[in-house]
Amino acid sequence: MDADTSTHTRLAVMPRRHLLAASGALALASLGRTARAQDKAILIGQSVPLSGPVAGAFQGPLAGQQLAIDAINQKGGIGGRPIRLLVRDDAYDTERTVRNVHELVDKDRIVALTGLGSTAGVGALLPYLAEKRMPLVGAWTGAHVLRLKPHPSFFTSQASFKDEVEHALRTLATIRLTEIGVALQDNPFGQSMQPVIEATAKALGLTVTRIAPLAVDGSNASAAVADLAAAQPKAVYLVAVGPSVAAFVKAAKAQLNVPVYTLSVAASAVTALGADARGLAMTQIVPYPWRQVDPMAREFHQLASAAKLTVSYSMYGGYLGARFLIEALQRAGGTVTPESIIKGIQGIRNWSLGGNVLNFGPDRFHGSSWAEITIVDGDGKFKR
């Protein structure tokens, strides 16, 4: 038999027992290759609400994140190593978030965390992450209280909730809607924003007429709106995420005919609101995803189209968050470790993340404070 005869031809003329042996050897070799690919994967950990009251708000970011991870893995990963996300459900429960992250770090031996979704969870974990020198590369909470003190391994690529509040209240001051009611989600996320709103309003000459607590599930939305309405505000500022957003906006449409302004995390409620979303004003900390001038926006649209997914702010935010993680891994060099990832991020200067320019350094851990206002139109689309 000639030396260059194909493996297929050689198998065809083998005795049955030899054929079975060869097939088994090939299967073992294939399993070996798969195992080696798994062994060399770059392990990234994530704890997010896959269930619970705010799970719906995370579906878009998770889908966008996966688009970016799949795309880089199809191109060979990072230096020939695929990125493998180990995602754990915390149901928006702080204890579960902490437990998940400890397991990911101590048992699964991840090299970085990304996209943690709970304000209280991140706050509880920051001392542990500092002790472990474990990088948290982007979080889906913009709580400013988490950024007040420099943290050696906590990095963000988007503006904080404080940045969003300041931008929105400056807008209200500019258009002379100076008497505002405030609805705050009744949890650590909402409560942490009260002093920011009060201080910013005072600095801008705005009057906070009333502050109403809003249940996480939105069950008291009508009562919260009635409480605010009694104080006759000219506009309402809403700090909430998940089902309480839609419940509150619907109640406000029925009982209180004034503009409602809210944070970017409320974007996932627009679909549920339907026609009631019209006129809702929302800060955005993600560049406008429908303007395909930036290369990342164009690639995102191509990937979303191929996956038959509808483009949204939340999905684009997840995609850009993953692109930030990918950039950090690429800058980590040949040996990807928690420490090399930290050093890689510290070296980022004037880097465009979908048009949002980021800057980091040894003493700069949060890369952007950019925000803008959008308005939802009658078709449920965002207008700048």
Q: Which of 194, 174, 170 is nearest to 183 (CA)?
A: 194
104: pLDDT strictly greater than 50 = yes
Confidence of residue 15 (pLDDT cuts 50, 70, 90): very low
The H-or-E segment that residue 358 falls in is strand 356-358
Structural domains for the chain:
42-158+291-368 (3.40.50.2300), 162-284 (3.40.50.2300)
Q: Which of 216, 278, 284, 279 is nearest to 247 (CA)?
A: 216
Percent of the chain scoring above 70 in pLDDT: 90
pLDDT of residue 2: 35
CA quadruple 158, 163, 165, 169: dihedral sign: negative
When pLDDT is averaged across residues 146-152 and rounded to a whole number, the result is 93
Measured N-to-C along each axis, helices 313-330 and 338-346 cross at an angle, to the nearest 10 degrees, of 110
The CA-atom distances, in angstroms, between 181 and each of 231, 243, 244 are: 8, 20, 17
Of 4-18, 142-156, 337-351, least confident by mean pLDDT is 4-18
Mean of pLDDT over the chain: 90
4: pLDDT strictly greater than 50 = no
Task: Match 């948290």 to its residue by tokens.
Answer: 136
323: pLDDT strictly greater than 70 = yes
Burial group, residue 198, by CB count within 10 angstroms (0-12, 13-18, 19+):
middle
pLDDT of residue 39: 61
Task: Tell me the one-letter amino acid at 141.
Answer: T
When pLDDT is averaged across residues 229-235 and rounded to a whole number, the result is 98
323: helix, coil or strand? Answer: helix
- At residue 43, φ and ψ (nearest 5 deg) are -90, 120
Q: Which of 333, 157, 184, 305 is nearest to 244 (CA)?
A: 184
CB contact at 8 A, 46 and 87? yes
3: pLDDT strictly greater than 80 = no
When pLDDT is averaged across residues 87-106 and rounded to a whole number, the result is 97
- Rounded CA separation 379/314 (Å): 18
Confidence of residue 70 (pLDDT cuts 50, 70, 90): very high
- Rounded CA separation 117/97 (Å): 9
Confidence of residue 24 (pLDDT cuts 50, 70, 90): very low
CB contact at 8 A, 372 and 163? no
Of 18-27, 89-98, 225-234, 287-296, least confident by mean pLDDT is 18-27
Count of beta carbons in the 10 Å neighbourhood of residue 10: 13
Percent of the chain scoring above 90 in pLDDT: 83
CA atoms within 13 A on the CB side of 120: 15
pLDDT of residue 31: 42
Strand partners, 210: 181
As a dihedral over the C-alpha atoms of residue 288, residue 292, residue 297, residue 300, rounded to 10 degrees, the angle is: 110
- Rounded CA separation 229/35 (Å): 62
CB contact at 8 A, 334 and 79? yes
Residues in CB range of 225: below 8 A, 6 or more apart? 183, 212, 248, 251, 252, 254, 255, 256
β-strands 235-239, 260-262: how paired? parallel
When pLDDT is averaged across residues 295-320 and rounded to a whole number, the result is 96
